[in-house]
Amino acid sequence: MAEPPVPPNNILLRGIRDYTPRTEAGLQVKVDSFFVLLREHNQRDDNRNGLFFVYNVAGRYGFVPVKCVVIYQGEPPAEAARRVGVVIDNFMPGESGQLSLTTGGLVEIVDRSPRGWFFGNLNKQSGWFPQDYISDWFSFARGEPLVFQFVVEAKRGQLESENPEFLPFTAFDRLDIIRVPNSNDDVWIGRDADGRIGKVQKDRLRDERGDLSSVLLKWPWYHQCDRGTAMELMRAHLHQSNSYIIRDSSESGNFAITVTNGDINGPMNVRVEVSVTGYNVEGRTFVSLQQIVDHYSSFPIHVGTDGRQIFLHRHVTREGWIDPKGPQAAAAGATGGGGGRRR
């Protein structure tokens, strides 16, 4: 199925020269790469910053130099993308080959028939359903992970609702935006400071804050580092099992837990897979990163062949300190308490 064209109120830009950004706020430009211009004021001749605020075909926001792109007048590029719709009413299949839909779900649209039916994927099931049961179409790159884009501040709260896919928050809360499906879409995917993921209504948010880092940094157990840095940090604590950090995974958009297990050769790493429904650890789903910490402080995250159990008992801070007071110290540290001592 051909992708629909870029909405007419968006302006498509094409790269005319390569550019490597020097800051996290910038996006890489390659010749013939494509971007969507997001703000009308960026078209002004007096753009003194010499930058356009855009998003690329992977759905990532950032700035690109004006001199590296031109307005593209041809047909939009046929990028491999997922087409997604939001279910607005329950649909119960009447025959085999049809897909059951639940209000609020996100269904991937794979094909369509001229009779007004879509073929889609939802919850590892596939089948046909009437197109009238979905709305708010948007697209994003196939397989594009949920990756930190920028921080926003809420101007109005979004209350807990019967739809669990919406993220509750109050005015002035700060959120990570981790997916922006389309510049015209009214619903983004956000993450709060506890790591809970959900839909966020765009009209309840202020402009993005490019000067702020991820809201997860309120937790002393969270580290924005790669595997190599984590392994070096944890080697100083190999003598003490059950010491841990949660860090960014080498798999973009996912996390990993690096935890000491009494092995002098190095700590172990546990994969945390991220999706719009939460965080998956070894087949168990959690609604937040903090819930992972709370659960595995009482239940083993790993049991060795010798019966040794590994827990998340003492987090290692970004300064390399071990907090001896265990999981409760994480919450205290998030509100300014707790320092820990070096081991």
When the pLDDT of each residue in the chain is averaged and rounded to a whole number, the result is 76
Residues 130-185 pLDDT 10s: 988 886 555 544 445 677 888 999 998 888 765 667 888 999 999 998 876 555 56
Contacts of 305 (CB under 8 A, 6+ apart): none
Residues 320-338 pLDDT 10s: 887 655 544 444 444 333 3
Q: How far apart are CA 45 and CA 55, in angstroms?
A: 21
Q: Which has more confidence, 147 or 292?
A: 292
Residues 257-283 pLDDT 10s: 999 987 767 788 999 988 777 888 988
Cβ-based burial of 331 (10 A; exposed 0-12, middle 13-18, buried ≥19): middle
The pLDDT assigned to 297 comes to 93
Where does 170-286 have alpha helices with state H?
A: 227-235
Q: How far apart are CA 320 and CA 5, in angstroms?
A: 50
Report strand pairing: 106-112 vs 117-122. antiparallel
Q: Tell me the range of 8-12, 84-88, 269-273 where mean pLDDT is highest.
A: 269-273
Q: How far apart are CA 97 and CA 113, in angstroms?
A: 14
Please report, for residues 223, 262, 286, the alpha-carbon distance to residue 242 in angstroms, rounded to integers and kept in the order given. 17, 8, 20
Residue 258 φ/ψ, nearest 5 degrees = -105, 120
